Amino acid sequence: MAQTYDAIVVGTGQAGPTLAADLAGAGKRVAIVERHRFGGTCVNVGCIPTKALVASARAAHVARRAADYGVVIDSEVRVDMARVRARKDDIVRRSNEGWNAGSKASTTARCWKAMGVSRRLTRSGWETSCWRRRRSS
């Protein structure tokens, strides 16, 4: 069954969600299409994860220079990379969960990996539909 939209926003990077919300707020029927994970490069593998890793590195650097500030640390400062990665992954996960706030799409994460995703912003919130990608012959 064909659906008709006033606008289709491709991608959920920095501008996509804002544009979709503004258009929907103006009474337009809007669909968002995302090929992979909501939030785009910045949220998932770019800006946000990088800043989380840099913050951990900065904390280690300051701790190693604690004596310069009159702070005594009685043992060696070590970095637990598993915990650093877990913290970064948690920050990314929470950023992605913001997309699902108010949504009833409990299986969205599995759907995104195997299928295409269309999210439509309506007056009552986000609606999600999925479809299988066609393989070219």
Q: Is 81 a domain residue?
A: yes
The residue-averaged pLDDT of 73-93 equals 95
Q: Is 95 a domain residue?
A: yes
Number of domains in the chain: 1
Q: Is 13 a domain residue?
A: yes
pTM of the model as a whole? 0.63
The residue-averaged pLDDT of 80-93 equals 95
User: Do 91 and 52 touch, CB atoms closer than 8 A?
Assistant: yes
Q: Is 93 a domain residue?
A: yes
Tokens 């785009």 sit at which residue? Answer: 40
Integer-rounded Cα Rg, in Å, for the chain is 21
The 10s digit of each residue's pLDDT in 48-81 is 999 999 999 999 999 999 999 999 999 999 999 9
